[in-house]
Chain A
Amino acid sequence: MGIVTPGFRGRPRSSGPELPPGQYLTEDFPVLSAGPTPRVPMDRWEFVITTETSREHRWTWDDLMALPSETPTVDIHCVTKWSKLGTTWQGVSLDTLMSDVDTAADYAFVHSYGGYTTNLPLADLLDGQAWVAFKFDGEDLHPEHGGPARLLVPHLYFWKSAKWVRGIQLRFDDEPGFWETAGYHDYGDPWREQRYQGD
């Protein structure tokens, strides 16, 4: 009979999970904030996708809750160099929100309650890569972490995952957002270490 010997095959466990270059692993969830935490009454909360022809697609909180949601488990990487692995969320896929949106735009300009903005290619929001997330670790998303709802785009640095997301403007051109106008990279791929302009 066979005896299973854990750790006998494969890479030694001490090598740990693979992180993007320059990142370190953290177990807690640091709060980064560029301003006061906005408080939005749920009866006035809305999420709006605006196309390049100014066509608006709006969801109230109840509309969002009525949509099918997903529970992605993903790794997140902050440009301030911490990474957190295996985080669990609940949210509505951008594929679902975009299903009735007719657009030829290439870029998305994301804006938030409180005035924060960020930009990314529209393609990076589609094909199961992005969500409007409203739960973290099974609990309602805490306001400090972007609740009631934040964008979740885990394959890019976490500043692209806009907290307190309010809407997305679809555009033909790439309009730089809050950090992108102040030296940070327009795309922000952690695996290529695209932290700053020119990286």
Chain B
Amino acid sequence: MTDPHLDGNALAGPLREIFAVDVTAATSRCAACGLSGAVAALHVYPNAPGMVARCPGCEEVVLRMVRTPDAAWLDLRGAVSLRIPM
């Protein structure tokens, strides 16, 4: 019996569509308190080694992004989901 999964290359098309959008128009749901709201309404702390976006309800971290000379690190573990209008 074979496990019916594909490799990650199958994500290329669907994710290319998502990562081309303006994410600030998306709705995020906070993993800590469950509050849903526009990404544009998150509290962003830019004076740090990276961008830190926090929930306006509970101030927990929803999204972090660090830009290095050759990469971008995106951490979304503080978000249950992003609802992206298409």
Contacts and interface: CB of A to CB of B under 8 A. Distances in A.
Interface of A: 30-36, 79-80, 115, 159, 179, 181-184, 195-197
A184 B49 contact: yes
Contacts of A36: 54, 59
Interface stretch (B11-19, B21-29, B33-41, B66-74): B66-74
Q: How large is the interface on B (under 10, 10 to 19, 20 to 34, 35 or more residues)?
A: 10 to 19
State the majority secondary structure of interface residues on B.
Answer: strand
B50 interface: yes
Interface of B: 45, 47-50, 52, 54, 59-61, 64-66, 68-69, 71, 73, 75
B45 A34 contact: yes
Contacts, number: 50
B54 A183 contact: no
Given A182-B75, A183-B66, A183-B71, A35 B61 contact: yes
B68 A35 contact: no
A32 B71 contact: no
A80 B45 CA distance: 15
11 contacts: A33-B48, A34-B52, A34-B61, A35-B54, A80-B49, A179-B49, A182-B50, A182-B73, A184-B49, A195-B68, A197-B68
A45 to B, nearest CB: 20
Contacts of B75: 181-182
Contact of A115 (B48, B50, B60): B60
A80 B46 CA distance: 12
Contacts of A183: 50, 66, 68, 71, 73
Nearest to A158: B49
A187 to B, nearest CB: 15
A47 to B, nearest CB: 23
Contacts of B50: 34, 179, 182-184
Nearest to A199: B68
B52 A35 contact: yes
A33 B68 contact: no
Nearest to A79: B49
Contacts of B49: 32, 34, 79-80, 159, 179, 184
Nearest to A195: B68
B47 A31 contact: yes
Contact of A182 (B47, B59, B60, B66): B66
